[in-house]
């Protein structure tokens, strides 16, 4: 019998990878914002239309790309961020898989304008469904603008699966919050359908939290700090009386990356034990710095789950640091006689 195995053409492989990387407009938001940060931008503007279904655009004032790099950036596994597998354990960038732009370009209409500071002119590249439509010399500001239009235009099933604008915008704002809270030193703006949703000046962590969640937030914050061999921890928890019935603001950032961890979440809940009313959840913004070699980020394409070498120690340190922080603020247990 004849052999039957064939290598998939690039555009098919990219479309398959896109299924993992891009679930909805907010996935595009995350990837583009992270690329802007990796390009050391200090000002980043996010523009969406129809909750990202029609347009997601990120404009940054970062390093920009040469015309050759701009073209190559849409190839699968094309990255400037790592060169060897060892680099995976010394990561200082958000990206490293070289998959995002190839995936996004496979399932949308993309226009990139980019220029490096030292170049007189930049380049404009248009790419649709993974095919380059045009590449022109272009007069454009320093940095990069990537506009992603008509997401999932060639995957009707995915497009139909998208939720209402209200829900999709909520997902986008969640991603925006995560990135903005990770990088208070960067200026961020968000516009939806032409109106400003957020305009966040560069500042410190405390002020960034206040700008994002409103001026009343300031009085709710209790600082948490701890410096050990295994982890350097800083950030804030909400005073227990401001905890919510619905899961409140719960943020872990590890080495400047938002992550989800039900295990570490439990460490915080247990530090609040006896302080919360029934079924209330603590709110927290906790920034952990660990040696890059002690974590593995390459577990899932969206990188929101990571593996720690020493999870138990981190749990214990988190728990005791939060307890200590609450204690310093003389937070008394809630006396709940109704129980």
Site residues for Mg ion per CB under 5 A? 35, 95, 100
Is residue 78 a contact point for ligand ADP (CB under 6 A)? yes
- C-alpha 54/C-alpha 254 separation (Å) is 33
Among residues 103 and 283, whose Cβ is nearest to ligand ADP? 103
Contact between 282 and 264 under an 8 Å Cβ cutoff? The reply is: no
Q: Is 28 in the site for ligand ADP (CB under 6 A)?
A: no
- Residue pair 184/203 in contact (Cβ under 8 Å)? The answer is yes
Question: Which residue, chain included where needed, has tokens 């660990």?
Answer: 290
Q: Which of 231, 218, 215, 209 is nearest to 320 (CA)?
A: 231
Alpha-helical segments (H) within 137-274: 156-161, 165-182, 205-213, 262-271
| Smallest distance from ligand ADP to CB 156, Å | 25
Nearest distance from residue 178's CB to Mg ion, in Å? 15
Q: Pick the closer one to ligand ADP by CB: 24 or 323.
A: 24
- 98 binds ligand ADP, rule: CB under 6 A: yes
> Which residue number places its CB atom closest to Mg ion?
95
Q: What are the phi and psi torsion angles at 160 (to 5°)?
A: -70, -25
Q: Does 96 bind ligand ADP (CB under 6 A)?
A: yes
State yes or no: residue 23 binds ligand ADP (CB under 6 A): no
Coil, strand or helix at 18: helix
Decide if residue 165 touches ligand ADP (CB under 6 A). Answer: no
- Structure tokens that stand for 187 in this block: 């200026």
| Residue 130-159 contact track with ligand ADP, rule CB under 6 A, x = bound | --------------x---------------
> How far are the Cα atoms of 113, 126, 181, 219 from residue 211, in angstroms, in the given order?
30, 36, 10, 13
> Contact residues for ligand ADP (CB under 6 A)?
31, 35-36, 39, 60, 62-65, 73, 78-81, 95-102, 144
């Amino acid at each position: 019998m004849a052999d039957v195995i064939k290598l998939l053409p690039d555009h098919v492989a990219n479309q398959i990878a896109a299924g993992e990387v891009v679930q909805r407009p907010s996935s595009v938001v995350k990837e583009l914002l992270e690329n802007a940060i990796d390009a050391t931008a200090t000002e980043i503007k996010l523009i969406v239309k129809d909750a990202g279904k029609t347009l997601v655009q990120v404009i940054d004032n970062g390093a920009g790309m040469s015309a050759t790099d701009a073209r190559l950036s849409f190839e699968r596994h094309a990255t400037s961020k790592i060169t060897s597998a060892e680099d995976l354990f010394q990561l200082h960038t958000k990206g490293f898989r070289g998959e995002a732009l190839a995936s996004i370009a496979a399932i949308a209409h993309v226009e990139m304008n980019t220029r490096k500071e030292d170049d007189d002119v930049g380049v404009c590249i248009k790419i649709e469904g993974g095919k380059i439509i045009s590449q022109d010399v272009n007069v454009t500001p320093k940095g990069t603008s990537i506009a992603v239009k008509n997401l999932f235009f060639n995957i009707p099933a995915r497009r139909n699966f998208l939720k209402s604008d209200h829900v999709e915008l909520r997902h986008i704002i969640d991603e925006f919050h995560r990135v903005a809270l990770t990088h208070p030193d960067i200026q961020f703006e968000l516009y939806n359908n032409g109106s400003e949703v957020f305009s966040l000046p560069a500042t410190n962590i405390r002020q960034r939290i206040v700008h994002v969640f409103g001026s009343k937030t300031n009085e709710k914050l209790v600082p948490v700090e701890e410096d050990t061999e295994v982890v350097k921890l800083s950030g804030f928890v909400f005073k227990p009386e401001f905890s919510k019935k619905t899961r409140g603001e719960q943020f872990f950032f590890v080495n400047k990356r938002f992550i989800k961890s039900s295990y570490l979440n439990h460490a915080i809940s247990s530090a609040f034990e006896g302080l919360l009313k029934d079924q209330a959840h603590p709110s927290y913004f906790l920034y952990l710095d660990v040696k890059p070699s002690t974590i593995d980020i390459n577990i899932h394409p969206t990188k929101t789950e990571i593996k720690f070498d020493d999870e138990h120690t981190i749990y214990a340190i988190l728990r005791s640091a939060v307890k200590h922080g609450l204690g310093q603020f003389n937070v008394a247990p809630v006396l709940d006689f109704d129980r």
